[in-house]
Amino acid sequence: MTDRETNSYGKLLIVGLACVDIVNVAAVYPTEDTDQKLLDQQVNRGGNATNTSVVLSQLGSPVEWFGTLATDNLADVITEDLEKYGVICDNVRQYDNCVTPLSCVIVNASSGSRTILHKNKTLPELDPKDFEKLDLGKYSWIHFEGRNQVNVEKMISMIDDYNERRKDSKPITVSVEAEKTRNITHSFLQKAEFVFISKDYSMAMGYNSAEECLNGVREKKLLKIGAKAICAWGEKGAWGLEESGRIVHSPTYPPIKVVDTLGAGDTFNAGVLHALNRGRTLEEALRLGCQVAGQKVGRSGFRIDT
Ligand code: ADP
Ligand code: FRU
């Protein structure tokens, strides 16, 4: 479903983190207080929002990333990679005298599992004042990584105001991702038309399966009226809750060998967003999400076949 030739579809804005990932590929998961030679070590661009952006761009979606960047040398790892993939970064907010957020990742080559240790020492999160400066008329879809939730809610209300004021243009669709389980508040789930709920977030809410989670958020009325929710569940695939309450599912598309699951969810989100922004059904979008995520887990990094 690559549409390079017809980029008449609206531009997506992906809001959230960029960081650097030091990816350590180990033959087996390390035991505490041991010494192991790695199979490989890479210094890569990371962060949910930029991971999703580079996959969207490869699928043929016009995409801009919006977030904060330091001006240290590590920030070049991020900007060079985004440029390589054609992700627009025109409105990024840069901060001097800050350190690029860094993750230390252990990928277990025998299972593909990823263990992430993350630290943002000094770089500020995106400020709603930066969001105010955007020309919202340029975007058809704005997706928020669910971090920095108070500010995310403020930015979404600016989009709501814009949608009410606009005359001829189509309204902007808003989606949010509930992924990190730190500081769960749920209120931001009510703000978007599409809500991505990760397996970790679902489990932190007390649900043991994607279907249980989707039924639960519907029954507890945690979503905005008419909103749709999406829940990916690793090797079981992904489920979606339609406006009618119907639940749809896509199986996974597993590769021959799972080698690297770092950013599988971010890649899945990109496939879903790409399809939905082109007017595809939720079921079709889940399928594309699982297809591109299946490809991703079979290789390291975020290069996908289009
Ligand atoms: P996260 O990176 O947020 O933990 P998940 O593990 O839920 O994300 O995976 C997201 C999607 O990636 C799944 O819905 C599935 O389509 C795909 N995926 C993840 N793990 C595998 C796997 N082992 N085999 C095939 N597909 C996978
Ligand atoms: C993967 C990822 C990594 C990053 C971490 C940040 O989903 O975005 O690239 O190090 O999560 O939490």
Task: Supply the pTM of this predicted model.
Answer: 0.96
Whether the CB of 260 sits within 6 Å of ligand 2: no
- Check: complex ipTM more than 0.95: yes
pLDDT at 184: 66
Please report the pLDDT score of residue 1 as a whole number: 45
Map tokens 């945690």 to a residue.
222
For residues 184-213, average pLDDT: 92
Region 285-290: what's the mean pLDDT?
98
Ligand 1 atom with the shortest distance to the CA of 258: 23
Enumerate residues lining ligand 1, CB below 6 A: 198-199, 232-235, 237-238, 252, 254, 258, 261, 264-265, 268, 290, 293-294, 297
* Average model confidence (pLDDT) across the chain: 94
Instruction: Give residue 65's pLDDT.
Output: 98
- Ligand nearest the Cα atom of residue 293: 1
129 CA from centroid of ligand 1 (Å): 35
- How far is Cα 209 from Cα 30, in angstroms, rounded to an integer? 29
pLDDT of residue 9: 82
Question: What was the pLDDT predicted at 299?
Answer: 94
pLDDT value of position 167: 80
Ligand nearest to the CA of 203: 1
State yes or no: pLDDT of 145 exceeds 50: yes
CA 261 to ligand 1 centroid distance, Å: 7
**What pLDDT shows up at residue 183?**
64
